[in-house]
Amino acid sequence: MNKRNYSPGFSLKKIEILKMIAHPARLKILAELVNGVKCVSDFEDAFDMPQPAVSHHLSILRRYDLVDYFVDGRLKCYFLKNPMIPEIIEVLQKKHTKELPAPACCPITKKGKYPGTRKTKTAV
């Protein structure tokens, strides 16, 4: 990835983590791990996903140091390692029913007006 000037707080590592977890299977796995330790077979059953696919996604999550595992007999038991993940999952699972209000005017010049009416969504 080429180096760019990112805003403070948005390190390249954080950006890469967001890109990497933006896959439905990996989000499901992480959401399950927020609830505690899980084995590969737990994910297979919960998501109706074959073992090779689960293992593939878990290896990616391990590569980014988001999860780790321990061995219990023949089972690999996975757990969260990165402290950002529970917070990210919590934000993604929130139900947002309202849009942010439109500004009354330009905050710098104190002129101008929002052109038109803001569409509102109804809660589903």
Q: What is the pLDDT of residue 8?
A: 66
Range of the domain at 54: 12-93
- Using one digit for the tens of pLDDT, what is the confidence trace for 55-101? 999 999 999 999 999 999 999 999 999 999 999 999 999 998 888 87
Q: Does the residue 53 lie in any domain?
A: yes
CA distance 112 to 109: 8
Domain CATH number, residue 39: 1.10.10.10
Q: Confirm whether 120 is domain-assigned.
A: no
Contact 40, 49 (CB under 8 A): no
The reported pLDDT for the residue numbered 82 is 94
Q: Determine, yes or no, domain membership for 123.
A: no
Domain count, the chain: 1
In a domain, 17, yes or no: yes
Residue 58 counted as domain residue: yes
pLDDT of residue 1: 46
Residue 89 has what pLDDT? 95
**Is residue 101 within 8 Å of 88, Cβ to Cβ?**
no
Query: Domain for residue 117, yes or no?
Result: no
Q: Which residue has the higher pLDDT, 15 or 31?
A: 31
pTM of the model: 0.74
φ and ψ at residue 62, rounded to 5 degrees: -70, -40
Whether residue 119 lies inside any domain: the answer is: no
- Tell me whether residue 27 is in a domain: yes
Using a 10 angstrom Cβ sphere, with 0-12 exposed, 13-18 middle and 19 or more buried, the burial of residue 57 is buried
pLDDT, position 67: 97
Q: What's the mean pLDDT when you consider all of the chain?
A: 85
User: What's the pLDDT tens digit per position in 31-45?
Assistant: 999 999 999 989 988
